[in-house]
Structure 1
């Protein structure tokens, strides 16, 4: 055995490939650890770049690429003996099978360990010192070797053993490298499937165990780790990680045992019976007499066409009959089915209807398998004749040089088309199985045969070019791999323009409202551009194609010059014209007609904006008190025009000598401004679209001035990226903050990321003003431009569409092919309004208020025809929400409420005055089942709540303001859901809210804030807000919370500055909270408080059919955390639910006992009597409290074993 180990080591370390692999590993490690070029870890914000979790994520992610090296090293030790015909010599020597296999495996495995250690070395070197180009000394912790050894031992070493075992098995028994390749694909597919299940709360444990790379186990284990924990904790060898590692180590050992049992160490056994039978059959088929056919030699164009057709179909049939191809294709199709049916969940685990657009998204995942096929088979098809030693005969055949490459190219195109057809029918089958029979054939054709096939053709030409030029199959594979990696890291090198990204021509977002819309134009031009370039590559491939025995580069270069002919020159010239011409047109559109900036330039501009204009931030400025507009939307041209005026008033006690105006910075917007009195214009800051108008007569306190505006938004050509999705063919939706001028300095233009600010030599900044900041209290969350405004608008659009804005319709009329709508508000509203235009179908209804004195409210839903699935849920949501909020808070202030669907380029709903734009993607196409959270109903109730919390009560623009608008809207919607859905639905909703909150803490980029100081952190004001408010009403009663909110509304509704803050709201909560529960206000709102509740024992004893005694033992630890997640244990004096479940008539768990108990120590035991057989029991069973590990709160109740009497 030692001789075999020594031989393998000598063999490996005498081959350049071993050193290339080692250098590659060191380089990848260094790029990941010492530069921003390769990013695979979770560093960023306050997580240090050499934190243990970052190093672990880097190493585990790199192991995905490490499988390629593992297959190359471990797949060939035994296979090599068969390929070199040395097996007969080895198998006849006095060597045992165990010595042979063990020596081969151990020698190769040691080599692999040395190679992959380069990855750790590279990361260590990259992170050990602050390299000058990184400027990251403040983001590196002191060097600790354990942080590198821990993940290597826990993840890398077990992975390498398992990979080695399976590749060694495949190469030894399969005796073909394609078997090894297939195994690599299986491993990668296992990773993809595990990643799919990770997004599902109920399947995370399964995903953690099944992932062969261990990444799922790592994610599940660390998903709730705080910043402090990520910076300090090593990966535990326990829980999911331990289970995952043991399972795959066991599988690896089983592979080696299986190999030992099945490997035939006898020389006579190496020829398969199939091969022997084939030989005998061929011998029988040899005829004694051979007749020579009469041959007519044809060499003209028709013969070449025949040759091309015959060879193309020959290569096509050869590919589709290859077992590796069949395996890859079937694996890809299987994955499409798996992710369609098992991984298709959206928010709160809700499935969407299996529309054609959704299925084509799933099919898009197959592109990864397309790439594998292209990389592998461009090499196999170029080398086909040489691999079977038929190249000299094939090369001597009478065909032009281009026929060989062209037929191989066309054969692969035919293969691609066959896969497209297969995928299309698979997609249709998925839809039919799902019960959705509305098939969009045009969409399938466009996605598959236009978008995907076009990209595959480009990659095919590239692959053939690389294989032809380098003339080495495996180096060609490597270069294709390098190409795809380079596409992923180019952005980190500052190369961002799409004209440098070969083959990146995607059609962009698809919406059933707007189809592919305006994306088709840039898609078409980019395809033409890259096709021209690819044809040039293809022509070079023809010139470098090996034909004959001379295959060196310089000989092929000389032969290539001889192969140049007029036809090839014409093709290359035309391709060059197409490439240069289309490239020039693309550049003209992206860089001349539109402004192009890379991210560094954009950040520099924003930094300069702050440096130049920050001085004006606190200047006293007038406020808008009235708006009157004429807006003309031109959907077909994607343009709009707006004119009208803002009426400005000096509401301060100071004189205002100049008005500062921030115009829209979008280069497609032209803004003209005039005043109804004399001004002088200062355009010295015009590069920022910031203009200062000095008034001939300064504005005295109480003075007003009319600012006339004229805005033209013109779509010219197409942009390089960030294509405008506001003004589109069908579904235009924009608001005043995006395109209309604002008053004064705009803090929103400043850089917010501390990392970005550091790169621009700016100090870190707070996300929002402090809660007590006088300037912040004087302005609302909608900004400092206005308090409340009067509003009137005439909005026009194409006659086939409906135009909508806040306000009541005064008049509608047609002029030519345009339709006009005149809207006007009868009361002042916040300075936040939308303009919408689309081809809508309308549902109308009315809501009768619970109080007779209140007016009837008109309800309308404007939706895209075919999206009727959930409109009844939305209508019901509006009615139920209006009733609840009117009864518990205050009357609804408007006479109408409208929902309008807009395309799913953006996924949110937004509440304007009596107007709620609602994304196609978050409510209109959800497939709501009985046990699902009714997302359309919930989102509707949430947005309706904003008519109270945001429009009636408008909060100050300071820290904690989202607690007044978003958290209160979450609570309001939750209470409406509580009235309309069973407790199980509410529990499921809160379970997802808790998961999102805890996960959000992990990815915090600055610092976590208590709820009352939330700084626009959605995971806090939405997710934690839901949990906190639901718990609050559970502790002090729903009526008490509503009483507090009613008084808060009465005191603050429709008020202008000073605006209320979270501290004001908390006072109302404390007024209705008993003294014994005042601590929950502190815990829930003013601190970051978490629990570790766990049920350790649960047993029951049956007394009678109607009496069961349950013994419970629970543990509780209470923590308070700082902004980075450092925790400090707190003294327990808390009231916490103890609950017991029984089985209801439907076989589901139902609470039979739920009562709060005073918890004063860590471990507590309870003996409780209930009237039915218990199934589960535990502490905080509905997860009302914020628990770091909510899965262990409840435990299955086991029956006590009867004590046996002593004999």
Structure 2
């Protein structure tokens, strides 16, 4: 009987249209995730255990939504269809009934994840063989067993219990949302990579957040973040440690809840309260004589009255709906926690001032609100039917448009409530953190920028819900549509014309507000508003009333409906088409839009056409003279200029090959003495053939002009942004260049192989000769703005209601020049004959003192240890916060707004990033400007890694070594967070395009070298490197520095140093306390055991390194930046296990291996032992 009942239950589940749609969706999700998803480097197989586990674990989150729908739709069917009286009087007992319903839900939800696995399997048949490893069924069974099944048991189990105990659909929704919020909170505290900023945070989470994540995703991503490609291809996720405890904890919790539910479940009809109900005494009722009322059902007043009556009912339903109110409270809690985390727990522990501009950037996107809208829309559309009064309501002459408008406006009210709550969260957070500069106009703008897209979704969701045969199918279809819109780019629909109510990134800055993206937002909102007007007309025309009409029949009536509202429809369609034409013109014609595939084809075709000409000899640029006209309010700029070109080869040059960045809208080039020109518009190339070949050591003048038009319809390029206030352009990247461009090549090895191209080799060190230029620039801009660029300001003047600035370099510089233009305030000081200036936004003076100090310290250190700073000025100019932190040019640093100027570093223990970044960028005056390395492999090591070294040394000297230890810990963790998220990691000496290598690993490596060979010796090496390779001598390569270090290093250090620079090697260190006892002389003897592994390409080998071993008389929590150890010695380790004893003079509290934190180790939690 049990088996038969289970079969019946499953047949009922599987027969639901909502299940069939969900089954198809989950299968497609599995297929597309394996086909389109990115899971680390290209060396990770698409059918590896890591990829399969990743997909199944992530999609198990959807068990919340499928469990919610199935619980409400299937588990409650007896109550819903008034069948309890029949079912409860059959011979079935309580236990079988409970178990069958429970298993039916679990199996149906779990089967969806099995279909995900099947979709993954089918998807692998459509992938290239070189992207796949060998097939093993265990790769599918293990994640289904340890992730999918426990997650389904938890989420569906809790929802089942809620359904059984409450028999209330709305409470089921609340619990579904609560489960999701529980997961989100665990993600926030567990630093889940699913959150937008997680990869920018460092540090391993505590065990508690890992245990509190009911889906165990934080454990999975935390453990696998350091896995190599080899481990990801071969290793199943280990079912032990914290992960095992997590699974047991939540399975135990689920079992307990289910058992309690079974005990509380009454297998009988709901009874009235047991208290006796006293009969009410009959009261005399005054009879009211009947009189007829005149009813006018066609006038405007009638429709207005019915609208207000219906709208009042809908609003009462909203505000007196306890489950909705609970969900709103949960919304406040989740967004409050998340906003606080975003503001006060950023990369390197950055705390931001809670400025309104920063807050609205964080709370503007409200996609999660769509979940609440879907739930509430389903309830409000079907409300009359749910309480069996639809026959009464729909038999009245009330118009469909009245019902549609009342229900839709109530959903609009929910949207505005969500926005209001977000604004309230922001203001409360500001006030509770002592920030009282509340900028209400910015907050009020969210009623447009946040709410309007949601309002469009409301209309679409109402249409879907009205079209669906039942509300649960409508909810599922709405979720599918939102999912497809959110991930449309993955499915090949990258163009925003096809992505409903979605706009390009709406970036906010205090310089520029939402800038020209506000204009694009307006156009897209008008475009989609016209579309939803047609949707609204169709919804009203196909509104469900008394008679259930088949969907097919209702679709056949579309023509009639549109004809009945032809003027509204025609006007909406004309608006829609006109907006589409305008947006297409702005995006595709002016903006040169390319989707991902088109960009790939472009790169492949460029290389196939021009790589064979890469060795064509070209002249070099010796002088640049430019006139730049900025039009900030119009979003455009133009440049006219001349190059002095010199033939520094030994052969005559007959053809000059010019190209510009594809971001340029138009360009023209003319070379004196050229006889013909060949232009390739597709690749922005031009060949100029000279009448008379350019002889060696001779020069020729090239004239050029370019024009750039930017708008909110094109992808934002933070390096080429012309905005109303806060323009920033890295000009050297957008003026004409000569020869072949290696940066245009495709680097995806699989796509290259399909196109018949060889694998990308290390980019060669193309030119070891300095090609310096003299630069003269005249720039015009808006009358109220100041321009900052490379060189010394010669003069400025007003003309034609515009501001003009003329800059000229005092000495030849590398081909590096950028500019910014904004309404600045200036703060200056003079230091040892150098003019120091900071141009900044008024009101953002918080960190100027710290930045000035960093610049002074860096100048002192660089002058003392590297080379004399060659210029008479050093300027920092603030730029909008769109991307990055800062960029250095000769004599100028362009510094990002939020981190440097709006970061709050006043709290004790906070890393002062304004100091660190200013020191780092000032260091680039030596490491990129005075010493400009040869282009190619290792270039970034001699620029970014050495700047990080200088930054770290200055932090140590300014704040203390223990302060730096905390800073290096962030770098260590960021390195391991990012190293397996892209292509195969290269050694430091070959790095070029892997920031986590040349920033994080590079900084740690350079500091380690300093600690091993000594600061003075290392600085002498660096100083000599500049002497040997500054202009006019040949440029330095990474090998030059590595060889110089190895030459000075002791033999015992050479292997470690070589591993750091020329290998991809990390370590696994640990320390254990064996014993500690007090000696007769009052000192303490500590017996220790050191564990050490050298990790390379997944192999564990004998270590060979020297590390610091320190002992402190304080616990780690009590360490101050200037805390000194009571024991500090270096220890040579060349065994897997090393036992030793140390003697300390004072009572020890902690013993630490790698005490200053510069050894690369994925897990440093075992580097410290507490002495009891």
TM-score of the superposition, structure 2-length normalised? 0.94
Kept in 1: contact 2:721–2:727 (CA 8 A): yes
* Aligned counterparts of 1:833 and 1:903: Cα–Cα separation in 2: 18
Question: Shift in Å at residue 89 of structure 1?
Answer: 5.2
Kept in 2: contact 1:22–1:116 (CA 8 A): no
* Aligned counterparts of 1:1145 and 1:1190: Cα–Cα separation in 2: 13
Question: Shift in Å at residue 754 of structure 1?
Answer: 1.9
* Aligned counterparts of 2:288 and 2:865: Cα–Cα separation in 1: 100
The change in CA–CA distance for 1:322 and 1:902 in structure 2 (over 3 A counts) is same
Question: Shift in Å at residue 724 of structure 1?
Answer: 8.7
Question: Shift in Å at residue 222 of structure 1?
Answer: 0.6
The change in CA–CA distance for 1:560 and 1:885 in structure 2 (over 3 A counts) is closer
Q: Which residue of 1 aligns with 2:1109?
A: 1138
Question: Shift in Å at residue 858 of structure 1?
Answer: 0.2
Q: Which residue of 2 aligns with 1:1201?
A: none
Kept in 1: contact 2:174–2:324 (CA 8 A): no
Q: Which secondary structure does the structure 2 equivalent of 1:820 belong to?
A: strand
Alignment pair present for 1:964 and 2:963: no
Q: Which residue of 2 aligns with 1:681?
A: 676
Q: Which residue of 2 aligns with 1:851?
A: none
Equivalent in 221, 238, 252 of residue 240 of structure 2: 238
Q: Which secondary structure does the structure 1 equivalent of 2:1066 belong to?
A: strand
Question: Shift in Å at residue 621 of structure 1?
Answer: 1.0
Q: Which residue of 2 aligns with 1:768?
A: 763
Question: Shift in Å at residue 97 of structure 1?
Answer: 4.0
- Once the two structures are superposed, residues 392-428 of structure 1 have per-residue CA deviations (whole angstroms, 9 ceiling, x without a partner) of 2112334333111111112222232233223222221
The change in CA–CA distance for 1:612 and 1:315 in structure 2 (over 3 A counts) is same
Report 1:36-55 matches (<5 A): 39=37, 42=39, 44-55=41-52
The change in CA–CA distance for 1:94 and 1:306 in structure 2 (over 3 A counts) is closer
* Aligned counterparts of 1:149 and 1:113: Cα–Cα separation in 2: 13
* Aligned counterparts of 1:1079 and 1:423: Cα–Cα separation in 2: 56
The change in CA–CA distance for 1:1155 and 1:350 in structure 2 (over 3 A counts) is same
Q: Which residue of 2 aligns with 1:190?
A: 182
Q: Which residue of 1 aligns with 2:382?
A: 383
Kept in 2: contact 1:803–1:835 (CA 8 A): yes
The change in CA–CA distance for 1:588 and 1:710 in structure 2 (over 3 A counts) is closer
* Aligned counterparts of 2:882 and 2:1057: Cα–Cα separation in 1: 39
- Once the two structures are superposed, residues 924-961 of structure 1 have per-residue CA deviations (whole angstroms, 9 ceiling, x without a partner) of 11111221111111111111111101111111112112
Report 1:945-1024 matches (<5 A): 945-1005=923-983, 1007-1024=984-1001
* Aligned counterparts of 2:1116 and 2:1159: Cα–Cα separation in 1: 29
Q: Which residue of 2 aligns with 1:1076?
A: 1052
Question: Shift in Å at residue 23 of structure 1?
Answer: 7.4
Q: Which secondary structure does the structure 1 equivalent of 2:705 belong to?
A: strand
Q: Which residue of 2 aligns with 1:1031?
A: 1008
Equivalent in 1152, 1155, 1160 of residue 1129 of structure 2: 1155
* Aligned counterparts of 2:552 and 2:801: Cα–Cα separation in 1: 68
Q: Which secondary structure does the structure 1 equivalent of 2:886 belong to?
A: coil
The change in CA–CA distance for 1:202 and 1:746 in structure 2 (over 3 A counts) is closer
Question: Shift in Å at residue 292 of structure 1?
Answer: 5.4
Number of aligned positions between the proteins? 1156
Equivalent in 531, 540, 543 of residue 542 of structure 1: 540
Question: Shift in Å at residue 1009 of structure 1?
Answer: 1.9
Equivalent in 212, 215, 228 of residue 214 of structure 2: 212
Name stretches of at least 5 consecutive residues in structure 2 with no aligned partner: 192-197
Alignment pair present for 1:458 and 2:456: yes
Q: Which residue of 2 aligns with 1:1205?
A: none
Greater shift, 204-213 or 1059-1068, is seen at: 204-213
Kept in 1: contact 2:526–2:579 (CA 8 A): yes
Q: Which residue of 2 aligns with 1:171?
A: 163
Alignment pair present for 1:68 and 2:65: yes
The change in CA–CA distance for 1:1010 and 1:562 in structure 2 (over 3 A counts) is closer
- Once the two structures are superposed, residues 277-326 of structure 1 have per-residue CA deviations (whole angstroms, 9 ceiling, x without a partner) of 9x989998995746658745344223322322232232122112212311
Alignment pair present for 1:738 and 2:738: no
Q: Which residue of 1 aligns with 2:149?
A: 157
* Aligned counterparts of 1:717 and 1:34: Cα–Cα separation in 2: 30
Greater shift, 749-758 or 1058-1067, is seen at: 749-758
Kept in 2: contact 1:77–1:105 (CA 8 A): no
Question: Shift in Å at residue 632 of structure 1?
Answer: 1.9
* Aligned counterparts of 1:474 and 1:954: Cα–Cα separation in 2: 64
The change in CA–CA distance for 1:1133 and 1:752 in structure 2 (over 3 A counts) is closer
* Aligned counterparts of 1:1082 and 1:724: Cα–Cα separation in 2: 36
Kept in 2: contact 1:30–1:125 (CA 8 A): no
Report 1:79-158 matches (<5 A): 79-88=76-85, 91=88, 97-127=94-124, 130-131=125-126, 134=127, 136-158=128-150
Greater shift, 545-554 or 290-299, is seen at: 290-299
Question: Shift in Å at residue 118 of structure 1?
Answer: 2.5
Kept in 2: contact 1:1102–1:1108 (CA 8 A): yes
Q: Which residue of 1 aligns with 2:205?
A: 203
Kept in 2: contact 1:796–1:821 (CA 8 A): yes
Q: Which residue of 2 aligns with 1:907?
A: 884
* Aligned counterparts of 2:1002 and 2:901: Cα–Cα separation in 1: 25
Alignment pair present for 1:644 and 2:621: no
Q: Which residue of 1 aligns with 2:485?
A: 487
Alignment pair present for 1:831 and 2:836: no
Kept in 1: contact 2:30–2:118 (CA 8 A): no
Equivalent in 54, 60, 77 of residue 57 of structure 1: 54
Q: Which residue of 2 aligns with 1:521?
A: 519
Alignment pair present for 1:622 and 2:622: no
Q: Which secondary structure does the structure 1 equivalent of 2:876 belong to?
A: strand
Q: Which residue of 1 aligns with 2:843?
A: 866
Q: Which residue of 2 aligns with 1:414?
A: 413
* Aligned counterparts of 2:851 and 2:671: Cα–Cα separation in 1: 44
Q: Which secondary structure does the structure 1 equivalent of 2:508 belong to?
A: coil
Kept in 1: contact 2:157–2:258 (CA 8 A): yes
Equivalent in 935, 940, 952 of residue 913 of structure 2: 935
TM-score of the superposition, structure 1-length normalised? 0.91
* Aligned counterparts of 2:736 and 2:811: Cα–Cα separation in 1: 23
Q: Which secondary structure does the structure 2 equivalent of 1:910 belong to?
A: strand
The change in CA–CA distance for 1:142 and 1:556 in structure 2 (over 3 A counts) is closer
Question: Shift in Å at residue 1000 of structure 1?
Answer: 2.4
Alignment pair present for 1:898 and 2:875: yes
Question: Shift in Å at residue 266 of structure 1?
Answer: 5.4
Equivalent in 1142, 1148, 1165 of residue 1139 of structure 2: 1165
Equivalent in 781, 789, 798 of residue 814 of structure 1: 798
Q: Which residue of 2 aligns with 1:358?
A: 358
Q: Which secondary structure does the structure 1 equivalent of 2:972 belong to?
A: helix
Question: Shift in Å at residue 226 of structure 1?
Answer: 0.8
- Once the two structures are superposed, residues 425-450 of structure 1 have per-residue CA deviations (whole angstroms, 9 ceiling, x without a partner) of 22211111122211121211112x11
Kept in 1: contact 2:732–2:818 (CA 8 A): no
Q: Which residue of 2 aligns with 1:1092?
A: 1068
Q: Which residue of 2 aligns with 1:852?
A: none
Kept in 2: contact 1:227–1:1004 (CA 8 A): no
Question: Shift in Å at residue 57 of structure 1?
Answer: 0.5
The change in CA–CA distance for 1:144 and 1:23 in structure 2 (over 3 A counts) is farther
Output the aligned Cα RMSD.
Answer: 2.8
